[in-house]
Structures are given as C-alpha cells and as structure tokens.
A = this chain, B = another copy of it.
C-alpha cells in the first residue's frame, strides 16, 4: 500500500533523488526526472517529494554496474573487503565463480563465499564451479562431483554452473560432462571456449552453454554471438580484451554483449577502476556510453535472468550509480537497495567479519617432508620458459649442471628450480621442474596462489631459501613470501584457503608493493610486471606449453605428464 501511495504521489517517499539525468537503458536516452525510493526499491520516476532529498544537480544516474563474471579470490580479499574497493567504482552486483576457493575447500568454500557475501551490501550471485579439479594430472584440495552440483543447484544465491573450461569434454560429449550439463539444463551455464570456432563451437553449444568470456578478436565475437552466445568483454589484470573486441560491437548485437573482469588484481581495481573501467575503455573506442552501460546492467540482467535488476524503473532494485561525466564514468555516489553506501566518494557502509575458522588451516603439509633434490638421468632437459606478463610458457631444451646426477644451480644460466608442493592432503607429492627467464638471485619466492589447484609453488636459486619460504607459508596458513639468504624479507599471509586475507586493501597493497619491490631488487626480470602473479599460472595445466603440477612436469600440447630429461 505504502509503495503505491508513494508512487501515486499521495505520500512522501523516504528518499528522492532530485534533478537526475537518468540513464534509460530501455529507450537508450537520458531522461531528466526525479527518482522516488522506498523499501529497497524504485517506486516512481517523475516529480516527487521525499523526507530525504538528494539533489543530483543534473548529474547522471545509472543502474548499478554488474560484473558478469569474476573470481573474487583473485583480489586476495574477502568478499567484504573486495566490496570496499569495487562499490566505490560503481559495481553493485557481481556474478562470482568461486572456482579458486572451491579447488581448495570444495563445497565448504562455496558456503564461505555465500555467507561472506551476506555481510556486505554488494550483491553476490554464485555459479557452481564446474571443473574442480581442472584436470586429473594434479591434486586439488577437493572435487566437485555431480552429486555436489545436484545438491547445490537450488540453493539460495546459486544462479547456475560456472565456466565450463573443459571444452574438449563438452565437444566430444564425454559422459561425465554430459551428465553434468544435463543436471543444469534448467539453470544458466557459463562457457569458456577460447578460440573454439565452426563445427566445434556448434558441438560445444548444443547443451545450452550460454556465455563465453574468452573472445580475443572481433571475428570470434561475431561468430559466437551469431551462435547464440552472450559474449563477455573481459578486462582483467592479465587478460585485457575490451579494446580488441570493440570493433565487433554494433547497435544491433550489443544486447548480446556483457562486461566482466574475470581476474583483477586489487591494485589495478584501485588504480583503473572496476567495471566502470571496461565501460570507459569502450567509450574511448568510440562506443556510445549508454550502449556500454547497457552491457554492464540490463544485458547482464537479461542473460542471467535477474528479475527487476539492471535498470531504473518502477519495482526495480534501487541500485544506483551517480557520476558527472558520461564519457568518463567516475562514480561519486552509489546506492544499493536504496541505501546510500558511497556519498561524494566517501564510503559509508560497514561489513561484518565472518568467523573464518572453517576456511583457515588449509596448508596441509609437513615441512619436514619437503625434499627439493632434483635427480636427473641426463643434463639435457626440458625447461619452462616464462613469457613476461603472460600466462603461457614456452618449452625450451637446455643443458644444465649436474653433480652426482643431482641438479645444481648455475648462477650464469638464468635457470631456477621450481617446485609445486601438494598442500591439501599430506600426500608428500612434490613436482620439481626448471624455469627460465624469472631471474632471482640468492633468494626464493613462494605462494599458495597457484592456479587452479592452489598447491604451494616455490621458485629459487637455492634449496635453503626455498625450504624456508615453504615453511614460512606453512606457518602463516598460506600466502606470498620472499626469502633471501635465510631471512624472510616480506610476506603476505593469506590465511583464508591460502588465497585471501581478512585484512583490508591498504594492508594488501603495502605488502604487495614491498614484496614486488624487494623481489625485483633480488634480480627478478625487469620485464616481469608482477613478480608473484606471473608465477601463479606456472601450475595451470590447461594453458600451453609446459607446466608443473604436484605430479610433475606437464606437456600441455601432448596433454600428459612428461620426464624432464630429453625432448
């Protein structure tokens, strides 16, 4: 009754935004008007009076931005702390795939992300990670079975199935994958099909996979759109596709295009922006600002069937972003559910810390079990060659020094020992390989962020520092650390699943800057922008060419574990 009376102008609204330039994503125009809000919801657009009136002084008011696909864990922040850096950038809602924490903790990880997201105004929808573990050539902390998926699919907060990365299994209709997709036919299924075209794309899509965020060029975008795919234009930290995809956008196909970040480093979010950065990039590429805003609002709501979301209209969620320049969107005020959560760039909301007991103590290994000795039958070996700022590696053949059949570091050859130590099940598994092009001296770096199984990865020129680095992360429940000459130079504990800290952005930023600065001082290749992030994908066995898991060296092209020795 109250909503109706307010809508009719018979009662004052609790809150009215006066003098707005409303971004109308339906008619694609700007409408000068007031917005009346009551009880989380927009109840009227027109001339209204409110008990509280916020004069927008002809600033633009847009629907809150939505990140269509994000792994929150990549920010190293909890959902609460993540929300503190993205809400001020205008992001009011995210579709999150908790793939990382689920690789460590399984269903418990999904539960943690769900519960955490209740403690923040940021609206978090979850997709069930579809490919945990990513391959059978590694040990992750948990598996997500089809039974798990079945038991989760109708739970609150769950929208559908997360990115189906194992696209060969889909294309070739492997039974376990068909069963999984069938299970989720009535929900949204996110895709992940880099460079899949033509008949393989047809085969990938027939089981109702609805989205893709791996397009890297205009032609790929156009073909996928034609085949019914909603295409995410991704701008993360390591993967930056917006500029390359912009030429594929037309007035006619833009309704099928969405924006996402996928994986974005917290310092990049703070510096560049979040989804507003994708929008601003598109505007710079000549895309109409309202078209770009549609991709971050109503288009995502349409694709993910979010009701009464993504637009400014009666009955819609009062998630609103206010800014003064339509061509370079820097929000100054943000509302979520009708509450002013950011006002004139000042954050007004608080979040509650969740008891994190259940998601800590995830580094399950005995440091005394770690033996980094690398015995080789030949000195002619396969080496992973790091490509700076890239998630792929090259496979190169090198001669290395041996002493009694055991590898020893040669300070002149730019090759380091790298190890992936299983840290979920006390298996004592250690995969040991060699890495070229990283370049640290008298030191080691280690981290428990190591995609996708998130074992403990450690790189160094001497076993002593490597062992101290591994022990240090064991003691602090995971994280990032740098050790030199037996001394822990710096560390960032990530006690939640070894992936996230419950501390805030400022703490993380300080630690990351110090870690990176000191690592570079200790000789890490200057071309490498981020000394730690660049190692996090060395263990991901679905991205070419040569990778390392806890089971050993993995040739991604052959898709099998291989010996170091020989070609």
A7 to chain B: which residues have CB within 8 Å? 199, 202-203, 206
A208 interfacial contact with B, CB 8 Å: yes
Q: Which of A473-510 contact B (CB under 8 A)?
A: none
In the complex, are the beta carbons of B311 and A206 less than 8 A apart?
Answer: no
CB contacts under 8 Å to B, within A63-99, are: none
Nearest CB on B from A90, distance (A): 21
- A173 touches B (CB below 8 Å): yes
B314 touches A227 (CB 8 A): yes
Most buried by B among A5, A171, A205: A205
Task: Tell whether, in the assembled complex, residue A313 and residue B226 are in contact, meaning their CB atoms are under 8 Å apart.
Answer: yes
Query: What is the number of residues of chain A that contact chain B, defined by CB distance less than 8 Å?
Result: 53
Within 8 A of B (CB), among A277-317: 290, 302, 305, 307-308, 311, 313-316
Shortest distance between the CB of A39 and any CB in chain B (Å): 10
Which residues of B have CB within 8 Å of A24?
226
Q: Give the contacting residue for A307; candidates B43, B171, B208; CB below 8 A.
A: B208
- The residues of B that contact A31 with a CB separation of less than 8 Å are 226
Residues of B within 8 A of A200 (CB): 8
- Indicate if the CB atoms of B252 and A206 lie closer than 8 Å: no
- Chain B residues, CB < 8 A from A307: 208
The verdict on A558 contacting chain B, using a C-beta distance below 8 Å, is: no
Give Cα A253 to B311, complex, Å.
Answer: 13
A251 in contact (CB, < 8 A): yes
Q: Which residue of B lies closest to A222 (CB)?
A: B27
CB atoms of B202 and A41 under 8 A apart: no
- CB–CB A4/B206 < 8 A: yes
User: Which residue of chain B has the shortest Cβ distance to A43 in the bound complex?
Assistant: B206
Assembly stoichiometry (copies): 2
A228 within 8 A of B: yes
Asked if A255 CB lies within 8 Å of chain B CBs, one says yes
Q: Which residues of A from 237 to 274 have beta carbons under 8 Å from B? A: 250-253, 255-256
Q: Does residue A44 face the partner (Cβ distance < 8 Å to B)?
A: yes
- Flag if B314 contacts A205 (CB, 8 Å): yes
Tell me whether A172 is interfacial, beta carbon within 8 Å.
Answer: yes
CA distance A255 to B201 in the complex (A): 26
Minimum Cβ distance to chain B for residue A469 (Å):
46
Per-residue CB contact flags for chain A residues 1-18 toward chain B (1 = under 8 Å, else 0) read 101110111000000000
Contacts of A203 in B (CB 8 A): 3-4, 7-8, 44, 314
Beyond known contacts A3-B173, A28-B252: 9 more, CB 8 A cutoff = A4-B171, A7-B206, A8-B199, A24-B226, A41-B206, A43-B202, A202-B314, A205-B313, A228-B315
Sample 23 A-B pairs with CB under 8 A, ordered by A number. Answer: A3-B206, A4-B171, A7-B203, A7-B206, A8-B171, A8-B200, A26-B226, A26-B228, A27-B226, A27-B252, A28-B252, A31-B226, A44-B202, A45-B202, A45-B226, A46-B199, A46-B202, A202-B314, A206-B314, A207-B315, A208-B315, A228-B315, A252-B290
Closest 6 CB pairs of A and B: A228-B313, A28-B252, A4-B173, A7-B203, A205-B314, A44-B202
